[in-house]
Amino acid sequence: MLRFSLRRVRAPTSLSPQIFSLSNYRFSTAAEPSWKHRTPSRVPNLIGGSFIDSKSSEFIDVINPATQEVVSQVPLTTNEEFKAAVSAAKDAFPFWRNTPITTRQRIMLKLQALIRRDTDKLAVNITTEQGKTLKDAQGDVFRGLEVVEHACGMATLQMGDFVPNVSNGIDTYSLREPLGVCAGICPFNFPAMIPLWMFPVAVTCGNTFILKPSEKDPGASIILAELAKEAGLPDGVLNIVHGTKDIVNAICDDDDIRAISFVGSNTPEVLARERGSYEANLYTIL
């Protein structure tokens, strides 16, 4: 005779909103995958040092290409939120530009150590949102990490030049100074590497920065921003907004943004060049 026993089990606690990794995915024999019944988390903006949920009523689903799971939802940042991000970056600039270069370098030293610590976390997120193999995603992170390492030696790169007596009684000198608020517009294919091409060098030079990740895979940029805050980057120095063409146009049209770094295909590049004022903005088109 078989004996059966029943045990009362504790009700499962609710999951905190986060991007699901591949290691958490389980196959199910149910008619519909269980993830279809979850409410996906919403990707926040980063404004003035705080991760803030957008008040936008429009969101774009971030899709896991392997499972078609809705991993998260990214907002179409409102114009008011974008202006708040620019204002936060502008307000942080006077303090940050006067912060010694050695202090700014030290933050980058901490950031590169934190990226090494969380390389696997970043790689899993990239694989989940963008579809690369884990090995390729780790390479994505590593190539960006090399730029952070480069920024750790910014003090010598920021040295100016002095030439005495180039003519009778005339000396010449050059200074390298930060521009102010800068922005970066990122594509989908390298979610960690390209943001790391942009903001570490810009902020170590004394600029403040507004990053617009791809709406298809914004998770890596959010993780990197969390690590930058953990490394000690002051509030307002790095800000993140989300969206598509409208937010790109807003970046190009804003007179307070002094430089834009853009990586992408030809059509958006032409739009960025046409909309941006060469009088007000300096462009790095990669």
When the pLDDT of each residue in the chain is averaged and rounded to a whole number, the result is 85
pLDDT tens, position by position, 1-35: 434 333 433 444 433 334 334 334 333 333 444 44
The CA angle 2-3-8, to the nearest 5 degrees, is 145
pLDDT, mean of residues 188-217: 97
At residue 285, the pLDDT reads: 45
Provide the whole-model pTM.
0.82
At residue 160, the pLDDT reads: 84
Instruction: Tell me how far apart the alpha carbons of residues 129 and 20 are, in angstroms, rounded to a whole number.
Output: 10
Instruction: Tell me how far apart the alpha carbons of residues 160 and 150 are, in angstroms, rounded to a whole number.
Output: 18
Strand order in the sheet with 70-75: 41-42, 70-75, 59-63
pLDDT, mean of residues 53-62: 96
CB 56 within 8 A of CB 78: yes
At residue 161, the pLDDT reads: 87
Share of the chain above pLDDT 70, in %: 79
Instruction: Tell me how far apart the alpha carbons of residues 156 and 176 are, in angstroms, rounded to a whole number.
Output: 11
> What phi, psi does 128 have (nearest 5°)?
-65, -40
pLDDT tens, position by position, 130-181: 999 999 999 999 999 999 999 999 988 888 888 998 888 899 989 889 999 9
